[in-house]
Amino acid sequence: QQQVKQSPQSLIVQKGGISIINCAYENTAFDYFPWYQQFPGKGPALLIAIRPDVSEKKEGRFTISFNKSAKQFSLHIMDSQPGDSATYFCAAAEERELSSGSARQLTFGSGTQLTVLP
C-alpha cells in the first residue's frame, strides 16, 4: 500500500527554471512532511520540512507548499541549478505509541530524479 504518492518520476529543467515535485497522502495521522535530497552514492539527507499547521515554508530557493484539505504537498525549487540535480523524496511522519515508548516513523514517496541542464 503506497501511502505517499509522488510525481513525476523524473524531471528535466533548464538552469534558472522552476522545478516542481508533487506528493499526496491519505493517512490523516501524518503530522510532519519532510523532503529529502539524495545525491548519487550518498544517503538521503533532510532538505526542508513542514508541519500541517502552515501552508508554506521557504528556505532559500526551496519552498514547500502544503494543502491540508487536499492532502497534498509540493516542493518548488526556484532558479534551479545543475548542482540541484539529485533524487528528491517526499515523506510523511507519524507518531506510533508502543509498549517501549513512542516512535516516529517516516513513509517515503517513490522519488523524483531531477536533472537541471546547464
Partner 1 sequence: DAGVIQSPRHEVTEMGQEVTLRCKPISGHNSLFWYRQTMMRGLELLIYFNNNVPIDDSGMPEDRFSAKMPNASFSTLKIQPSEPRDSAVYFCASITTDPHYYNEQFFGPGTRLTVL
Binding site for partner 1 (CB under 8 A): 32, 34, 41-46, 49, 89, 93, 96, 98, 100-101, 103-111
Q: How far is the CB of 20 from partner 1 (least distance, A)?
A: 20
What single-letter DSSP state applies at residue 29?
T
Q: How far is the CB of 57 from partner 1 (least distance, A)?
A: 13
Nearest residue (CB) to partner 1, 77 versus 90: 90
Is 71 strand, coil or helix?
Answer: coil
Name the maximum alpha-carbon separation found in the chain: 52
Nearest residue (CB) to partner 1, 15 versus 68: 68
Cβ-proximal residues to 99 (8 Å cutoff; 6+ apart), any chain: none
Provide the strand spans (E) within the chain: 4-7, 10-14, 19-25, 33-38, 45-50, 56-59, 62-67, 72-77, 86-98, 101-108, 112-117
Nearest residue (CB) to partner 1, 62 versus 89: 89
Q: How far is the CB of 112 from partner 1 (least distance, A)?
A: 11
Nearest residue (CB) to partner 1, 59 versus 79: 59
